[in-house]
Structure formats: C-alpha cells, structure tokens
Structure 1
Amino acid sequence: MTTHPIRVRKAAVLGAGVMGAQIAAHLINANIETLLFELPADEKDTNANVIRAIEKLKKQEPAPLSIVSRAIYIEPANYDQHLERLGDCDLIIEAIAERLDLKSQLYERIAPHLHDQAILASNTSGLSISELAAAVPESLRARFCGVHFFNPPRYMHLVELIASEYSDATMLNTLETFLVTTLGKGVIRAKDTPNFIANRIGIFSMLATMHHARQFGLGFELVDKLTGSLIGRPKSATFRTADLVGLDILMHVIQTMQDNLADDPWHGFYTAPDWLSKLIKKGSLGQKTGKGVYQKQGKEIHVLDPDRETYRLAEQEVDGEVEVLLKQKDTVARFAALRKHSHPQAQFVWAIHRDLFHYCAVQLEFIANNARDLDLAVRWGFGWQQGPFEIWQSAGWNAVLDWINEDIAAGKAMAAVAMPAWVQTIGQQRPIQGVHAPEGSFSPATGEIQPRSSLPVYRRQLFPDRLIDEQPIYGETILETEELRLWHTGDEIAIVSFKTKKHTIDNAVLRGMEEAITTAENHFRALIIWQTEPPFSLGANLQKATERPKTEMPPSALDDFIRKIKKSAQATILKAAHSLDMADVLMAGKLAEVETMIAHFQQTSQHLRYCMVPTVAAVDGLALGGGCEFIMHCDRAVATLESYIGLVEAGVGLLPAGGGCKEFALRASQQAVESDPFMHLQHYFRTVAMAEMAKSAEQARALSYLSPSDVIVMNRFELLHVAKMQALALAEAGYRPPLRPREIVVAGATGIATFKSNLVNLLEGKFISEHDYLIGSKIAHVICGGDVVAGSCVDEEWLLGLERAAFIELLATEKTQARIAHTLKTGKPLRN
C-alpha cells in the first residue's frame, strides 16, 4: 500500500520560544497555515508574548522566514482563549520548556480539543518519548511521537523522529513522508534514549574536546581553529558553536546525560566544566546575551581564560606543521601522522577522534538502528562533512582500531571499556573494512548490512546524500568534455551537468552547452541543467576564454590576491560577477576577447530560450551572475528553498551582460502592454543596480529572478525528480518555444534621464560615489533601450548589443579595475 503524505491543512506550534517560533516560521515557509501558541500576556493584549516572538522572527539572522512578508501568516494564539482552534489543526508540535511535568499538564489540557486524526509531536531535545507518551491521554497515544528539529530549523537538515511504545507505525511513516517532502528534512529514526542520536554524539564530542583542551593546555580559540574547517566541521567549531546554541541549552543537554546515563562508562565526563557553570550564573549565555566563551570588545574578539576567569585577546594560532598535516588529503596518512606526531596540537586532534570513535562504537547499538543513521544524524544536525564512522573508515578501519585498543590498554582513552566484538569482526570478515558498503550500512542489532529505507518518498530522491563507499551512477553519458557532461537515465530527458570548479562558465562550457542543446533538440524531449552537487553556478569564468600570452608576465600583487581569494567564501560569491578571472583578463589586456566571450554567452542564453525542447534549470545553492542569467532564459526553473540567486555584477563595477539586462527590459515591455514600461523598469533597475542577491528562492521570486510559474521545492534531494516532472509536463503539453519578440517597447532617453536624476540625488547626498553613478547610468542606458525616443520599439539583438558595449566600457575604467583588485585582496567590495 502506498504511503501518502499527511494532508496538513493547518498546524499549531505550542510554545513561542526560540525553537517554537522558528518551527512555526518554517511551517509557513512550506505554505502551511500555522497557529503559534504562548502563555497569555496582560488583559489588554493577551497575545502580546506571541506577537513579540513573531516580530523577532522578522529581524533574526540567519532569517527563519524565507521572506519577511510571510510573518503575517503566523496566527498568534494563547492557551486561555484559543484552545478550541486546535480542532482545525492536523499537526500539533509541542515546543515548551524541557520539563516533564509542564508538558504533561499541557497534553492533558489540549487533548479534548484535537480531532481524532490529529498528530501530536513533541520537539523535546532529550526527554524520554515513552515517558511523555504515558502522560498523553490513552486515546491520543498512538498518534504521539517525538520530532526533534535542530536549530535553526529552516537551515538544519536533520529531524529526528522518535517513536514511543504506543506510536502507530503507519502514522510514523506518513509523518516521515510529510517531514521529508513538505518540510524538506532529512529524517532519522532515533531510538528513545537520552538526547537521541545527534545530540548524544555531538555533545559527547564537545565534552571530549573540552576535556582534552584542558589536558593539553590549549586555549579555546586555538581549539576552535583545530576543530573547525581543518577537520571538516563548521567554522564555529566547538566553543563558538556553544555560544551560538546558548550555554544554558548546552548545560541542559549535558545535565540530561548526567541524570539519565548513570551506567554509561563515560558518565564521569557528563559534567559541565566549572567555567561553564560560572558563565551561566553570570548570565553570560553566548551570542544571545552578547557574551559567553567569546566577547567582542570594539573590533577585537576576546576569549575566556578559564584559569583567570577573565577575557583576553583571541590570538593563539595553529602550529604550521600541524596545519600542513591536517590539510593532507590522504586520510590514512593523515591519521597515522597525527598519532605519531609529538606536538600537543597533533596529539589533541588524535585524542578527540580516538575517543569519539570509541564512544560511537560502544553506543551505536543502543541509540541508532545502523551506522548510516548515526553518521547522517551528526552530519545533518551538526554540519560535519563526514560522520564519525565515515572518518574512521576512510582512515583505515583496522589500523585505527588497533591504535584505539593500544590507547585503551595504556590508559590514554577516556573510558576503559573494551570495543564491542562486532567492531573487530567487520574489519576481518567483510570485503570492505568498515561499517559502510554500497548496499547499506552495518546494524549491530542484526549483525548485517541494512539497506536504506524503502518508504516510497525516498524514490523521489534519485541521488540521496551519499556516504563513504556509496558511488552514485549518474546515468548514461551522451557526450562529455573536461568541462561538461550530458547524460540521461532512460526517460527521454537529457541532463547537462558542469564539471568546472564551482560550476563556472567558460568558453568550453558554452561550446558544450551549444552541443548539448542541439543534441537534446534532435534526440530528447527536454533538457535539464542540474549539478551533481551545489552550487548551481557562480557565473562566467573568462580565464580560459582569454588565455594569457605565451610570454610570462612578471609577478604582481594581483597574482597574490588571486591565490588568497580562492580561500575566501565571500570572494567566491563575487567571483560570480566575473571578478577573479577578470583580473587575469585585465592583466592580459584582452578586452576584445572578453567581448567575444560575452557574445558567445548571449548566444547560448538565447539558444536556451528558443530551442525546440523545453529547458529547465534545477537550482540549488548559489546561482549568481551568468548562472542566474541561464536560469532566466530557461522555460522553467525548479529551485530549492535554499537557493541564493542574483545578478551581482554591479558589486565589482560591472553589469550583467549574458542577457540579464535584456531580459528585464523585455519583461517590462511585456508587462506594460500599451502603457509606459518605465513603471515596471524601476523594480528591475533597482535589483540590478544594487546587485541584490536573493537569500531564498522565495525572495528570488520577489526580485523577479524567478517567475511566478517557477517551482520551489523544500528538499534538495528531490530537486531532480521535480525538475523531470516539470520538463515532462511541458513536453506532454506539445511544447513550442516562445515566439521571438518583434517589438520591445523601451523607456528610452526619457527613462534614462529619470534614472540619472535619481542617481544625481544619491550622489549629491553622498549615498553613492561618482563611479557608482557611472555604473548606475550604464545599467539605465541598457535597461531603457539606449538613447532612443521613449516608446520606441527595439529587438533583443539591439539590447544585447547595448549590454556588450556597456560591459566593456565599464571594464576599461580604472575604478572598476580597482574594485576588482580590492575585492581580490580583501574579499569585500570597494566604494570608490
């Protein structure tokens, strides 16, 4: 029997605290009407507490709402006046304080108001679901379970689904389907043990890190540098993560482990360090109070010195040799070197991994169904690039096991408990040494490999998040070059994927795209642009199109900037605006070749628009500059909610020249019909001139990077499936490309003059610089159709020609070149 998603017409969240309010926001992101309950305030305004929580959502960063205007759809409610409104809700998520008595009282109070199919779920982070279920009225127990979201709920992929002994199996399956597709989450079925899976492992890892930091005498900021991106974890690492989560929340989770895991071999370590307790008593709870492990003093970051109980400048650095070792790509060699190296920092990194591996091996059978669930829970809940077992397996299962056993015997490990027998067995009896294999992951309960879930919802994930030793087969190749691959999966839909770094677009990619489009027209029913991993595309890469002269140019500071900037995430965004590779072009002085490439880019965009089969852009992650222009020229876009789309070229002194300005001018003309297109152009001009980047697919729609007919999906692993369905729908409808517009009505000289007058006001008010004025004027010139009479009719080629000319004119200016150079040096835009 097919499991269908729950028809959640309306939901309620009980508790408007940090998590409750953000869960409500994400339900609204998914177009689910949501009631948000809180205790009543004073008699005059009983909903004041909820309203304050909703207002806070509008200002929070990172933004809980996909677009601020959605906040209006969260309906405020309180327990004294509005309990009867729960009768309209199909899903109720409780997110109040972590106290069994308070939750029990609330369940008893709301139960009479729920309809007989409604699901009640607790967002508890660690309380026993079975104990909570016992407090639920008997008629409701089969429809009660735990759904543990991670903070922030919009962005963290993980939701742990926890059954009680009473939970109905069909209810759990349908709820999982809803969480995966409608809310876009990665669902892990956790066993009902304290703190479940992710927090159990993640918090132990933090406690082990704190223990070894003390043991090896390392400062907190140094520990964060060693336990962040250098070892494949988020930049917030350990202590910054504690500040972000909230030191009081961390303390609560530690206390849960201390209170409920008395027989655990590591129980002695489930204690908050003295410095943590003292900070909490002082009210220094981390980021939310402006002071915790870290404190910003002026422009300087200071860190707690636990011995002196004062703050000092955060200045400790990673040892050069240890940093080189940690950057070694060969995981086997890296771990072998870590264990042998005598430096305290190397020994620290080995120790935190050793005790983590040891802990996971012992606890796996009690907290998770298999090793895959544990690894994915930690990856999705804590943002690690690999889970603990994946790291262990990639480092050499048997060798690492021998080292751990030696350290246990020598008394170096945090606990003296022996490794489970299965750990040794799977390293000797299986073809793959470790817990993960192509066919599934090891389950201690059964002693066998357990495949992925067979729930129908996962058939939509054509290429799910893979683990080590899972190598996806991306269909059958149609054509392939060094930069691009065209392939299919046997359903008459061609898929093109880029192979360039960050999926940038150069001349070779453009040539491949032209061939891919032609091949799709001749042999397939549709063409999809989809990348095997994000980002969608960071735009044009002009370096390969304009190779340096054979005579080597003398080294310059700019070359150093290029090397440095490749390490900067912020600069990666600006690379989409042609910044990085444009620097090479400037040094080679090949503006004519740049113009040739731009013309080629425009030609490819137009081919996407007017080819004989439907084209669909399947977008996930960053889609900037030329990547955004490709999206704008496809028949349909399917974008994940977390797609960050924009024409950002103005940020480095340029303008969109792959058809983006032309497209906005065309849309303004189509919207105007017989009226003046200028009123529609104002929105488009502001979007381009301010280099606005949408911070969600919903915002991209508001900025007109996406059209109203484009589709937003919540789960990135369902993106290709939905894109295929959209492509087939277009093909089945007897697709024909749009007719080329013969008359595009433009605002002309009058529109340009109006935009310029506005720019003059900004210039005189010192809100913009003279170069900003020039950039804005060039954008106005193109988007208004040039210096022609207002109401004149032009065609697309005219507008594309204006794009090319304006781009080259800006590129040739010293100030644009200075902006590019400054961006390469600092990763930040220059106001000049």
Structure 2
Amino acid sequence: MSKRKIEKVAVLGSGVMGSRIACHFANIGVQVLLLDIVPRELNDKEKSAGMDMENPKVRNRIVNDSLQAALKSNPSPIYDKKFASRIETGNFDDDMKRIGEVDWIIEVVVERLDIKKQVFENVEKHRKEGTLITSNTSGIPIHLMSEGRSEDFQNHFCGTHFFNPPRYLRLMEIIPGPKTDEKVIDFLMEYGSRFLGKETVLCKDTPAFIANRVGVYSIMEIFHLVKELGLSVEDIDKLTGPVIGHAKSATFRTADVVGLDTLVHVANGVKDNCKDDERNAVFAIPDYVQKMVDNKWLGSKSDQGFYKKVKGEGGKSDILSLNLETLEYGEQKKTTFPTLEMTKAESNLAKRLPMLYGGQDKAGEFYRKSFNGLFSYVSFRIPEITDELYKIDAGLRAGFGWKMGPFEKWDAIGVKKVMKNMEEAGLKVNSWVKEMLDSGKESFYKIEKGTKYFYDIPSKTYKEVPTLEGQIFLDNITEEGIIWKNSGVTIKDLGDGIINVEFHTKMNTIGGDVLEGLNKAVDLAEAEYKGMVVSNTGDNFSAGANVGMIFMMAAEQEYDELEFAIRSFQNTMMRMRYSSIPVVAAPHQMALGGGCELCLHADKVIAHAELYMGLVEFGVGVIPGGGGTKEFAMRAGDAMHDGDIRINTFRNRFLTVGQAKVSTSAYEAFDLGYLREGIDEVVVNRDDQLAYAKQAALLLAQKGYTKPIKRKDVKVLGKEALGIVYVGANSMKSGHYISEHDQLISEKLGFVMAGGDLSEITEVSEDYLLGLERRAFVELCQERKTLERLQSMVQKGKVLRN
C-alpha cells in the first residue's frame, strides 16, 4: 500500500446513505465534512423564529436534520455517540471550497447522471490534485460520470459502492473507470479492508455490478417460482432463511426491508441494460409485484408490503402476510415440509444443503429449481461481470449476508450431481464448468495446508484466493491442524506455538463439553505451546452458559449437582486467568453471560468492533455465576477512591450488571467496564481479528509471561455499599419499576459485590467472592420465579418479567 493517508473525508450528500457513510468514517477516527444542498425556502419553525435565508442554521438545515435522523436511527450507524463530534456539516454553496482540505471526496447524491455530473463539475473547481474522488452509485455506469473531467480527476476517480447500512453490511464494491490509476485501486482495496472493515470486491463496470446483479436475480427468480410452485409468502421465507445460510429476513421480508420500489428499480435497470443476459426474462416484474408498487405497498417504509403489522385484540400487534393470489392480508400460516424436518438435526450448512437439494417433496423441488437457476446464472456471469468466481461468492456473502456464495453452495451439493440434474431439466450451463469437470477437477474450491484455492478459468488451474497479508481463517485449517476435539470444541494449531480453542455448540453456549475443551487447551498449551486464543467462526462468540442444563438441574432440585456445575465453570475461568501461558479472547457479535465472563478472565481481549457484550443473567433470574460478579466487584474495588466517588464507582458497576446492560459496540464495552482501557483492543475487520489475537498472545509470551498470583487484596465496601443497594432496590420496587423478584436478585447481587455483611472496608480474596457468588446463584435457582424465567428462556427464547 502506498504512503497515502486518509485523515479527512468529504461526503457530498447527506441522505440515508451519505449520513451513514459519514458515521462509519467517524467510527474509525477520520474527520468528516458532510455537505448537502441549501433549502429553497424557510419552514414554518424558521419563519416563526424570524430567521432569513442567510441564517447558517437555515442554510445547513437539510444536512443537520439528516445527520440527526441517522444518529437517532436504530440500529445505530455509530459505534459510540461521542464519535459524532468527528463530523462537521455544511452546504454546497458555502462550504464546497473546503473540499480542498480533504484526502477523499465521496459523492452520494441522488441517482441521476445529470445531477452527479453537475456536482463533479463543482468539485473540480475546489479539489486539489491527487485527492481521491469516488461515487457511491449503485447503478450508473462509472465511465459516464467522469466524462469531460480533467486527467487528474479521471486518474483518481472510481466507484466505491457501500451497502446499506454501511456499518453493518461488510461489502464495498470497487469499480474502476477507464482511466483510474492502478495504484488508486490497490489503495482503496486495502484501505477498505484494513481500515473500514470491509470485504472489498473489485468489479467490472457492468449494470448493478456483482452483488446486486446476482442477488436481485436470485430474488426475482423466487418471485416467479412462488407462483409456479403454488407456494406462499410464509413458505418461501421458511425455505430461504437460515436453513440455507441466508439472513432470518429470507426473501419477502428482505424485500420489505429494502423497499419494493428499490428492488424493482434495480431489476428494471438490469432488464433494460442487459439485453444479452440469457435470463433477461427473469428480471420482468411479476403482475402481483407491479400491483403492490402501484398500491404503494412498498414494505417497511410504507408500513405494508408482503407483511403488514396490525393491532390485534387487546392492543397486541399481529403481523399478517399477503396472499399473492387475492392480494389480501391474512394471518400467517404455519409452514412445514418433510425435507425441513429431516434436516433439522444437521447443524453443518455444507452437509445440510445436499439433503435439501435431494428432498422428495415440494421443498426439494423448490430447492432444485432455485439452486439450478442460480448456478446456471452465475456460470454465465463469468467473464461478463468478473473473471474470478470467488468474487461472486464474496459479494453475496458480504452484501446479502449469505453464509455461502453460489459456487460454494454448488460445491457443497456436488458439482457433478448438480450438472446431471441440470441436464435432465434442460438447463444450460456455461461450457467452462464442463471443461473443468472433464479435466478431472470436481470442485470450484479446495483447501491445502491452511490455504484456500479457487478454480481459475483462463489458466484452468487452481489459484490462491487473495487475502490481506497475515490473515488467518479457522475454516482453512484442515484435519492436520487439529490437535484435539470433542462434541463442542476443536483445538487447532495456529502455528508459532499458539493454539486456538473454537466452540461449535448451538449458539456457542458453554456447557460441560466446552469447559472440558478449555481445560484441555490450557493443559496442552502449558505443556507444549506458548499461548492460546479463544475464537470461533460462529454467528456469535457465545450466547452464554447452557441455560437448559441449569433449568433441568434446578427444576429437579439437584442443587449439589448445580453447585458442582457452577464451581466447574468458575474453576475453568480461574484456570484460564491463572495459567502459566497467556490467554487471549477474540469475541465478535454476541458475547453474553458466560461468554462475557470468559472474556473478563482473559489476559487480553482483541474484540471485533461489532461486539454486543454483557452480563445478562438478571433476565433469567440469577446473578453472573461464572466469576462475572466477582470480577465486577474486583474491578470496582480497583477503581475506588475515597469519599463519594467510591460509592459512585460501586454504583456504576452494580448497575451495569443489575440492569443487564449490553454494549452496542466494542467501544461501548469500554464505557460499561467489560473491556479495559490500555489492555484490550478493537479490530474493525473481522478477517484480521484472529491474526491480531494470535500476535497478541505471542507478544505476551515473548515479553516473558509469568503466571499471575491469585488476588487476596480485593477492596470491598461491606455494609456501606449494602445500605445503598437495599435502599435503591426498595425504592425501585415501591415505585413499581421492578418486581419483588427483581428486588431479591438485586439484593443478592449487591451482597456479593459488597463482599457480604462486613462492618467496614475490607480486603478479601477472589476465592471468598467466588464462594459468595456461587451460593447466591444456587439460592436464586431455588426460587419458583427464577424457574419460571429459566423455563421461558429455554422454551420460548424470551425474557420473562415476573
């Protein structure tokens, strides 16, 4: 990567995308100048305040309102509210000259070529030479936008297509123009990945680029198939959601979220501009979709689309679904297919897909038709939209949230098997696929010695899938890298003396098998290695302890066994903390309850920026019992000073646990005390996380890691803190803010964090606090209301307030 640095960015256009792109640059520490047009006239509020059109508040009203709307939106586009101070606002008339100060200008105005060209003409007057200039267009050809611009402009111009919402969707398509400098492309590919945390995919300048071309094809094909096979909206969303590795929103709910008008716009664009596309007819808008657009049933933005939320009896909300024959809304019907029932027990997607494809019912028929259509389509997109098949897979995974891209799915089902089925169905496939099979190569990908390779069509050989230098992927470590495994854990060798502990239980919950694996990893690392990392490739790092197991023991009143299970959890956490090797945790997405406690006991945490971390045990009627309460008491004690601040420190830590606060990002986890300033770190690109975690473990080992000594000097406040807890819990109960059971849990939590009923500030040991924590946990499990909460979580997955 060249020495180009990005310290300041200008974003032109503050609509939904512009304001959120600005927020994501602010997320990573970049200064942002966000500009938009000056309003044409005063609004009523401005008139009544006696303002005129020259007032700066009026002139910046559009940009400021857009930014505020973005900051208030949910999910939030910003990691931490205080990062918004990195964004300055202004308008095109007064502030365009300031773009001369920035390193990168990103245009995000409306999707009209004439308006974009006008903006670029204005940009050219103020932009300094060498400044990057890119467009976030999702459909306008890149080469048309830079026509007539200076040589320097064209050399530094290309498309950078972010997907919405930019903070959460990882895809950034990079589309060079005819004169874009190669160095500019290389820089943006690496910057997008390293700094913005994106999956950067280099695209050709073809309609809808890569992800939308294939993703919208897939949706449109299903829009036609639903009628052909006589399936319902609910049927399709059941068949095309998590069961095939797609988002929960599946097909029709995704269409509602994206907006039917947006989907139709992209489909029409492809239909009009890709006359040679062999499946052009699939992009034709079905009658029922056109009627919905005419009726303005556009989805979430118009409060009705394929689904509609209504108030039912007693003010309860119901979600109705659309009957595609009558276009009337009705109650959703429960959907079941024998094929889905048969595959329920198979958690591995790669093993589940061939079972779905081979189904002998209507579901199986649907999968064969939709998969065959998709596979045929992507085979013909090479070399039209890209020369390398892995880019199509990367685009669909990062832009549409698919767990596996089309070629990866095809591999999982079996390339030969699918080809045979396609031939029988009379479906054409691009000739290069047959050539590949005829040459004895039976898959699009292969993994060898920790490296993933893809089939390269021009050279007819396998080539390495490009990654950034140093990145490590657990999925690429095959059998020879596995040191030990049981039903819930695999321990892999990362090289250089570092091992990795990977969970693969349901939602990566922590039960006996995971605890066994963690202990085994410490044994192995202490005997033969330098350190260990705890990370995995699941959707979530860990949803916590196995609540079903706790509920079963509590319901059957096996309190001795329960006490033993809690002690085992605590002992495992302490074993990790006090082992003779460094332990680094690398959490991502949800790290709740026991998953959070594991991180609290690591020597260092390398967190992914998207981290939802918290001690949430209160919701199931208990307190953190795997060392989490002890850890928060300890952290409170370490942060205490004399006088009032001492109590405030205790109160803040107590409320974080007592209110089951969960961070909305890794940065917020520092504010809540789950992560430690100066020790724990944040990584924006998930693909970099494991390599950084391994490096952190190695550095700790190389510095001369010494086994820590158990703490016996934890400062606790005793009665001084207990008084505050009891008075606070009582007043919250009296004010009807919490239930009687909440009050009891609060008092138990306070008792442990205060170190018990001590008459003065005392120094106690970690073991003493763990004993209090364990006892409180088991006592709460003996309460009927805790059992009701546990049962609700196990059976319905819902927190019960009782």
The letter for the 1-side match of 2:518 is M
**CA displacement at 1:435 relative to structure 2:** 6.3
**In structure 2, distance between residues paired with 1:446 and 1:800:** 62
1:180 is displaced (CA, Å) by 0.7
1:55-66 to structure 2, matched below 5 A, reads 55-66=68-79
In structure 1, what is the equivalent of residue 49 of structure 2? none
Quote the residue 2:439 is aligned against. Answer: 429
Equivalent position of 2:5 in the other structure: 7
Task: Sort the Cα spacing of 1:347 and 1:595 in 2 relative to 1 into closer, same or farther, 3 A.
Answer: closer
Q: Is the 8 A contact 1:492 1:525 kept in 2?
A: yes
Q: 1:270 is matched with which residue?
A: 283
Alignment of 1:85-100 (within 5 A): 85-100=98-113
- Check 1:324–1:428 CA distance in 2 against 1; reply closer, same or farther (3 A cut): farther
Q: Summarize the alignment of residues 259-338 of structure 1 with structure 2, pairs less than 5 Å apart.
A: 259-298=272-311, 299-309=317-327, 311-324=328-341, 329=351, 331-332=353-354, 334-338=356-360
Match of 2:651 among 668, 678, 682: 682
Cα distance, 1:134 vs structure 2: 2.1
Cα distance in structure 1, aligned partners of 2:483 and 2:359: 43
Q: Distance in 2 between matches of 1:729 and 1:16?
A: 43
1:162-201 residue pairs with structure 2 within 5 A? 162-201=175-214
Deviation at 1:139, TM superposition (A): 1.5
Counterpart pick for 2:618 among 650, 657, 682:
650
CA deviations on 1:767-826 (whole Å, 9 max, x unpaired) are 111001000111111111111124233222222221111111111111111111122222
1:104 and 1:135 in contact (8 A); partners too = no
Q: What residue identity is the alignment partner of 1:209?
A: I
Return the TM-score normalized by structure 1.
Answer: 0.87
* CA separation of 1:367 and 1:634: change in aligned 2, threshold 3 A: same
The answer (yes or no) to whether the contact 1:612–1:736 under 8 Å persists in 2 is yes
One of 774, 780, 786 as aligned partner of 1:810:
780
Q: Which moved more, 1:21-30 or 1:312-321?
A: 312-321
Contact 1:615–1:634, Cα closer than 8 Å, also in 2: yes
Gaps of 5+ in 1: 542-578
Gaps of 5+ in 2: 43-52, 312-316
Query: Aligned in 2, Cα 1:40/1:506: closer, same or farther, shift over 3 Å?
Result: same
Q: Residues 654-665 of structure 1 correspond to what in structure 2 (within 5 A)? A: 654-665=622-633
**Match runs of 1:566-585 below 5 Å:** 579-585=547-553
Amino acid at match of 2:332: E
Cross-structure match for 1:516: 521
Partners of 2:297 and 2:670 in 1: CA distance: 40
- Inter-partner Cα distance in structure 2 for 1:251 and 1:477: 48
Give 3-state SS (helix, strand or coil) of 1:528's partner. strand
Aligned-pair distance for 1:232? 2.9
Q: Which residue of 1 aligns with 2:510?
A: 505
1:151 to 2:151 alignment = no
Q: Indicate the SS of the match to 1:394.
A: helix
Q: Which whole-Å CA distance do the structure 2 matches of 1:781 and 1:361 have between them? A: 64
Q: Which amino acid aligns with 2:106?
A: I
Describe the SS at the equivalent of 2:5. coil
Q: How far has the Cα of 1:479 moved from its partner?
A: 5.3
Contact in 1 for aligned 2:32/2:86 (Cα 8 Å): yes
Superposition deviation, residue 20 in structure 1: 1.5
Contact 1:226 1:318 in 2 (8 A): no
Q: 2:377 aligns with which of 359, 362, 384?
A: 359
Matched, 1:708 2:718: no
Cross-structure match for 2:636 = 668
Structure 1 residue 196: Cα displacement: 0.7
Greater alpha carbon shift after TM alignment, 639-648 vs 111-120: 111-120
AA aligned to 1:195 is: A
Pairing of 1:396-795 with structure 2 (within 5 A): 396-408=414-426, 418-434=428-444, 440-453=453-466, 458-463=468-473, 471-473=476-478, 476=481, 483-498=488-503, 500-507=505-512, 509-521=514-526, 523-541=528-546, 579-675=547-643, 677-709=646-678, 710-736=680-706, 740-795=710-765
Tell me: CA distance 1:78–1:809, structure 2 relative to 1, closer, same or farther (3 Å).
same
Identity, % of aligned pairs?
34
Once the 2 structures are TM-superposed, how far is the Cα of residue 330 of structure 1 from its aligned partner?
5.6
Is the partner of 2:105 in helix, strand or coil?
strand
Taking the aligned partners of 2:330 and 2:775, their CA distance within structure 1 comes to 51
> CA 1:326/1:94 → structure 2, altered by over 3 Å: closer, same or farther?
farther
How many Å apart are 1:247 and its aligned residue?
1.8
How much does 1:98 deviate? 1.2
SS in 1 for 2:455: strand
Q: Structure 1 residue 532: deviation in Å?
A: 4.7
What's the CA shift for 1:18?
1.3
Alpha-carbon spacing, 1:478–1:275, altered in 2? closer, same or farther (3 Å): closer
TM-aligned CA deviation for residue 480 of structure 1: 5.0
The 3 A distance-change label for structure 1 pair 36 and 61 is same
Residue pair 1:475, 1:489 contacting (<8 A) in 2 also: no
After superposition, the Cα gap between the structure-2 partners of 1:47 and 1:729, relative to the gap in structure 1 and judged at 3 Å, is farther
Matched, 1:389 2:407: yes
Q: Distance in 2 between matches of 1:39 and 1:620?
A: 39
Separation in structure 2 between the aligned mates of residue 524 and residue 154 of structure 1, nearest angstrom: 37
Is the 8 Å Cα contact of residues 597 and 626 (structure 2) preserved in structure 1?
yes
Change beyond 3 A, Cα 1:669–1:403: closer
Contact 1:47 / 1:78 at 8 angstroms: preserved in 2? Answer: yes
- Counterpart of 2:50 in structure 1 is none
Shift of 1:485: 4.6
SS in 2 for 1:460: coil
Q: CA shift at 1:215, angstroms?
A: 2.5
- TM-score for both structures, normalised by structure 2: 0.90
Superposition map of 1:362-377 within 5 A: 362-377=380-395
- SS of 1:40's equivalent? coil
1:75 equivalent to 2:88? Answer yes
Aligned amino acid, residue 335 of structure 1: Y
CA distance 1:242–1:334, change in 2 (3 Å): closer
Partner of 2:769: 799
Write the distance in 2 (CA, Å) between the matches of 1:419 and 1:509: 45
- CA distance in structure 2 between the partners assigned to 1:29 and 1:112 by the alignment: 30
Stretch deviating more after TM superposition (635-644 or 819-828): 819-828
CA distance in 2, matches of 1:484, 1:242: 37
For 2:768, the aligned partner's letter is W
Distance 1:326 1:104, change over 3 A: farther
Indicate how the Cα distance of structure 1 residues 290 and 260 shifts in structure 2: closer, same or farther if over 3 A, else same: same
Distance 1:402 1:517 in 2: 49
Mean CA deviation greater in 648-657 or 53-62: 53-62
Residue 18 in structure 1 maps to residue 16 in structure 2: yes
Q: Which amino acid aligns with 1:69?
A: K
SS across alignment from 1:829: coil
Between 1:709-718 and 1:694-703, the stretch displaced more is 694-703
Q: 1:484-521 deviations in whole A, cap 9, x for unaligned?
A: 45443332334333454444334454455345335534
SS at match of 2:469: helix
Equivalenced residue count is 772
Residue identity matched to 1:728: L
2:34 aligned to 36, 50, 63, which one? 36
1:108 matched to 2:121: yes
